[in-house]
Structure 1
């Protein structure tokens, strides 16, 4: 059975978060169409242990310590290495990724960036050799959708100047080997003319379209 990894990055509970609410709608819709093919695993980054990166647990660019060096670490640092390896294995095992997060400071919550920093491990997620680096996630068909909520509405002509998180994740996941990337925006949650409920209603069609697209991909593999 395939796996969908659902990652959320918001300090708010789901019923108070537009991004998490849209994410849950996506998950429920997707599973209703793929319940015989997919299982869901959830990772709430604000309620999970995401280790702080430090020089003691790496021996080079993205290379986690192992062997004798690992054995010489403090128990605290060993737990960090073990946790990072577990996060990498969880990420590698997925076929579809759904990330739900708000726009913070024209980007994403720092916890989400910290998570990506953790899993960018050499010989697992990426391969670093000399001056070159390549992603290792092109071994199978993988899908990714980034669901982002924001308080305002930004004209499409200016979206590249404001939606830095979407551009960043598109570039990162393409580098890793995931070419099937979609984004879903919940816009205008803080505006008097739209508000959260209307913004969620406005994005429902996008949710349905992406679910249909990903479900078609699933049925052909």
Structure 2
């Protein structure tokens, strides 16, 4: 049984184009494999804690800085609980709009909470960092209002997919596929582009079977 975690980084609900693409994929995937389970994580509806000083101090103990006192342990337990929901999944489906050239801050907050030593990555002074989520895969659905691959620099830069690609690789997820609906405002045929993106989304079911 495949466990999927659908991470929704858009606050726009039913009007979110990235979420529509992800849901098109998930509908086709669950029809192809009825045993698949989907856990939906809507970041804007989650009560995500601040990654504050206590959590930071707890993290640094893994690098030999300070000690894990009761306050730090309590903070770390909170991090572990949130991260466990992430690590239980086999497949990650991510709906990610571009905000100011990057990812929405709620997604960055979530990433900062769960990207911890011993949970998502390992570290050795000689070997450096190593991702711990080998054997898992991700499907990312990107949207933007103006920027698109190959667009002139006046339309912005991509700290969006480049950052997420780096992060997924950092935590050990090497099998990553993506579908884009970009740009939503400048394209001459937005409905046609949207139809193509939705077809690509459902086509991933066959490609990743």
| 1:104 Cα deviation from its structure 2 partner | 0.7
> Which aligned pairs between 1:186-205 and structure 2 lie closer than 5 A?
186-191=181-186, 193-195=188-190, 197-205=191-199
2:16 corresponds in structure 1 to: 17
| 1:68 Cα deviation from its structure 2 partner | 6.7
| 1:63 Cα deviation from its structure 2 partner | 4.6
1:100 corresponds in structure 2 to: 95
Whole-angstrom distance in 2 between the partners of 1:136 and 1:192: 40
From 204, 208, 214, the equivalent of 2:208 is 214
Whole-angstrom distance in 1 between the partners of 2:82 and 2:93: 15
Whole-angstrom distance in 2 between the partners of 1:30 and 1:54: 38
Cα distance, 1:69–1:104 mapped onto 2, change above 3 Å: same
Superposed CA deviations along residues 34-68 of structure 1, whole A, max 9, x for unmatched, are: 222x210010001002221112123344859xx97
1:52 corresponds in structure 2 to: 50
Instruction: Count matched residues.
Output: 202
With normalisation by structure 1, the TM-score equals 0.80
Whole-angstrom distance in 2 between the partners of 1:150 and 1:112: 16
Displaced runs of 4 or more, over 6 A: none
| 1:214 Cα deviation from its structure 2 partner | 1.9
Whole-angstrom distance in 2 between the partners of 1:123 and 1:178: 16
Alignment gaps of 5+ in structure 2: none
2:116 is paired with a residue whose SS is coil
Alignment gaps of 5+ in structure 1: 216-221
Whole-angstrom distance in 2 between the partners of 1:63 and 1:52: 20
| 1:114 Cα deviation from its structure 2 partner | 0.9
